Amino acid sequence: MSPPPRCAFGDFVIERAQQRVLRRDGSTLNLPPRLFKALLLFVDNAGQLLDKDTFMSALWPGLVVDDNSLSQVISGLRRALADDGTGSLFIQTVPRCGFRFVVPVHVLTDDDLPPPPAASRIGAPARPVPAAAPLSSETALAPVIVQIPATGPVPASPAEPTAPPQPLPPPPAPPLRVHRRAALAGVTATAVAAATGVGLWAWRRPAPPGPGGPPFTLAVLPFKPLVAEGRDELLEVGMADSLIAQLSTLPGVVVRSIGSVRRHAGSEQDPLRIARELDVAWVVDGALQRRGDELRVSARLLRVADGSAAWSGSFDQKFTGVFEVQDAIATRVAQMLAPRLGAYEPANGAAPLAGRGGTRNTDAYQLYLAAGRHAQDMRADGLGKSIALYQQALRVDPRYALAWVGLAEAHRRTLFGADALPAQVFEPVALAIQRALAAAPGLAEARTEAAFKMYWYDFDWPGAEREFRLALAANPNVAMARFGLASLLLNQDQVDEGLVQLRTARELDPLSPVLNTLEAAYLLEAGRVPQARARLDRALDIAPRFWLAHSVRGLLHLAAGDNAAGISQLRRAVELADGNSRPTALLATYLARLGHDAEARALLGQLESRSRQRYVPPSSLAAVHTALGDTAAALAALERAFDTRDTRLTFLKDDPRLAPLRSEPRFGALLRKLKMDHFGRGLAPL
């Protein structure tokens, strides 16, 4: 018997002939082919337990693949269906046996409507769909050609030029292609209303979100080069970076960070595929060409749901006018989203999004872009180059607030990337914060760095929380402010809110290996092993050689009782860490716990020898001493950690490696000095 051509489950309808899944509102749930095939396998066998071999033979016939490939498919399908696995709304995991599709499946005929709304599943009655907002002339899909004047304010709407330049056509929409990362990143969250009384499924334009409604999600991709020769890679990323900084302050808009889109720099971009990977509803795509002092730029705002262009424009300008081009694009994108947001009204035709701590000096701007690129890998050599380039940019433009912020962040990263002494880190950080706020008072990114100083160096918990929240009030799209607040809350026994903030930080920067890895570490500590594994798989998919991710993978293996695999992964982390002492201390700690005292003491000796030449975090030594049963030495190391303002002390209360010391009076005294003794149990990462 052939399978039914149409069937429904929950809020979804599958149409086999069209190879598509529809939501109840009529929008398409875009699934890569392998995820679609896995969903069909589940639907055709609803209620039955399917083992691993069934999936392997159906999804990879004739191929040999590892279990991780299946895990990625299952986690990607869960994310697409908004089923994270904790509640098993659709897919139930049966440990060591397989998976089961647990929601009822209904066969539909041509005369059938979809099944009634799954109100009982979400605990709320179905609500009527609001009427769609009327379209204004601003939402026309025809290209808009804008010429930027050499000086003066940027017009809010294009004027008819007397002698228009030959426009650059907007980049053509590339064909939709499937990438394996889409299996993990999920699908777009565009809001599309379903029409009633006009057939089974019909399209409407999105209505404005009501109070407390879902935000609009937006990504700005690195601009493409029009021609390969003579391309300016820094400018391609820099255009996106500047637009992100300007658009991220729009109320009701969630903008993906530059860290997540930077990876897509280059000429072979498929904007719709990337947008779905980043889980956004709108995407800004563009192209540029610089020839000497001449700059030509095109840009467009695409709806991810249907690939249509809501706006497009072209710009010809001197390179010194690059900032006016950025302002104009940001203004036009904001104007296009304004009818849906009900929040943005430009004043007097000017570009109100400009001046968020930026520069108007092209030399400083290019140095700033280069500095950001070198800071990405969190290795000592790259961070050193980054710091030097930020300093050069600031010599060119001392009032470049975002460059001061970048300098502060690069210094802060040396704590973990280069075993830097905290006092030597936070002295220049404090100066950089002061200069950034003097140049741009209230700048959210600068407040974020001020909060990290209070948190990681001053041990001022109330002050840090206040600054993180003020930064987010100024700009809720600063991923590191979300992460800092999350970490602080998790330290202070506010686990539920902390995990929500942590997830939000990662969603703002979904391709950050650091945020994915640290979320995995916290989830592991919370006992949420499947979710931790999914986040870690994502981190290693993004950055296969990231030492911190290999450390967490080692802890996952150890938690599962696979000691050999765990130690192997910890050794791999040491190899990849470029001399960083932290993974060495972690390896020594777990070797001691497993009874390999001789090797653990040898590694401890190496760390102590190194500490006589350069800074090694005393908290790392304390963890190894604790595992070896050297309580007095461990407590002495922790007291030295307090004297040096060791950042790891922020996790002292909850660090599982230090658990044997918690009953010691000296340990309690240290908690009181840190004013941690009144907090309940929280979570600490590795």
Q: At what angle do helices 618-627 and 581-593 cross, to 10 degrees?
A: 10
Among 357-366, 451-460, 488-497, 575-584, which is the least confidently predicted range? Answer: 357-366
388: pLDDT strictly greater than 60:
yes
458: pLDDT strictly greater than 90:
yes
Kindly list the distances between the CA atom of residue 221 and the CA atoms of 224, 267, 286, in Å, as whole numbers in the listed order. 9, 11, 8
Q: Which residues contact 372 (CB under 8 A, 6 or more apart)?
A: 241, 258, 386, 406
122: pLDDT strictly greater than 70:
no
Kindly list the distances between the CA atom of residue 44 and the CA atoms of 47, 69, 82, 483, 595, in Å, as whole numbers in the listed order. 9, 22, 20, 41, 50
Q: Which two tokens stand for residue 469?
A: 């929240």
CA distance 112 to 108: 6
The 10s digit of each residue's pLDDT in 522-548 is 999 999 999 999 999 989 988 899 999
Per-residue pLDDT, averaged over 51-73, amounts to 80
Per-residue pLDDT, averaged over 440-445, amounts to 91
294 bridge partner residues: 291, 318
Res 310: pLDDT? 80
Res 522: pLDDT? 96
Note if the pTM is more than 0.75. no
Res 377: pLDDT? 66
CA distance 63 to 50: 19
Res 228: pLDDT? 67
CA distance 444 to 243: 16
The bridge status of strand 282-291 relative to strand 216-220 is parallel
647: pLDDT strictly greater than 80:
yes
* Residue percentage of the chain with pLDDT more than 70: 77
CA distance 190 to 174: 20
The 10s digit of each residue's pLDDT in 257-268 is 877 787 777 656
Three-state secondary structure call for residue 50:
strand
Provide the mean pLDDT of the chain.
78
316: pLDDT strictly greater than 80:
no
129: pLDDT strictly greater than 50:
no
Three-state secondary structure call for residue 335:
helix
CA distance 12 to 106: 10
Res 206: pLDDT? 33
Res 183: pLDDT? 29
CA distance 479 to 591: 35
Which residue would you say has higher pLDDT here, 164 or 225? 225
Res 654: pLDDT? 93
DSSP element (H, E) containing 383 = helix 380-396
Res 202: pLDDT? 25
578 in Cβ contact with 559 (< 8 Å): no
Res 565: pLDDT? 96
Per-residue pLDDT, averaged over 187-193, amounts to 25
Res 617: pLDDT? 95
275: pLDDT strictly greater than 60:
yes
Q: Quick one: which of 145, 75, 101, 106 has its CA closest to 12?
A: 106
644: pLDDT strictly greater than 90:
yes
Per-residue pLDDT, averaged over 592-613, amounts to 96
Which residue would you say has higher pLDDT here, 177 or 649? 649
* Residue percentage of the chain with pLDDT more than 90: 39
Which residue would you say has higher pLDDT here, 314 or 486? 486
679 in Cβ contact with 671 (< 8 Å): no
The Cβ-side half-sphere exposure at 30, using a 13 Å CA radius, reads 24
198: pLDDT strictly greater than 60:
no
The 10s digit of each residue's pLDDT in 488-508 is 999 988 999 999 999 999 988
